[in-house]
């Protein structure tokens, strides 16, 4: 079962490359913010898979919840900042 989680984590890491292209080459700031949000969401799942691999899911659930909250607040704050800056 550990091998399965390892393969899923490796494939998820490869899937994270697609939104990174949007972050680096996005035509607008909002496309880049969506890419950052997608990478952050996949990172939360990757953290949970690492917790399953180390058999310490309780600790990694706390870390992933804190990271998800931080990611959400950062994306909302950045999008509000760029939205208000755009209207000026």
Look at the pTM and tell me if it is higher than 0.75.
Answer: yes
* Structure tokens, 32: 């880049």
Count of structural domains within the chain? 1
As a whole number of angstroms, the distance between CA 6 and CA 10 comes to: 6
| Banded pLDDT at 88 (limits 50, 70, 90) | low
> 56 to each of 1, 10, 24, 39, 47, how far by Cα in Å?
15, 19, 34, 23, 11
- Mean per-residue pLDDT for 35-45? 93
Residues with Cβ within 8 Å of 48's Cβ and at least 6 positions away in sequence, in order, are: 57, 60, 61, 64
Domain limits for position 55:
2-87
Beta carbons within 10 angstroms of residue 21's beta carbon: 10
Instruction: Note the pLDDT of residue 58.
Output: 92
């Amino acid at each position: 079962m550990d091998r399965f989680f390892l393969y899923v984590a490796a494939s998820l890491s490869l899937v994270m490359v697609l939104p990174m292209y949007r972050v680096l080459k996005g035509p607008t700031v909002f496309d880049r913010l969506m890419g950052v949000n997608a990478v952050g969401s996949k990172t939360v799942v990757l953290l949970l898979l690492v917790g399953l691999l180390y058999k310490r899911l309780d600790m990694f659930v706390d870390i992933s919840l804190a990271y998800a909250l931080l990611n959400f607040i950062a994306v909302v704050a950045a999008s509000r900042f760029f939205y208000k800056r755009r209207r000026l």
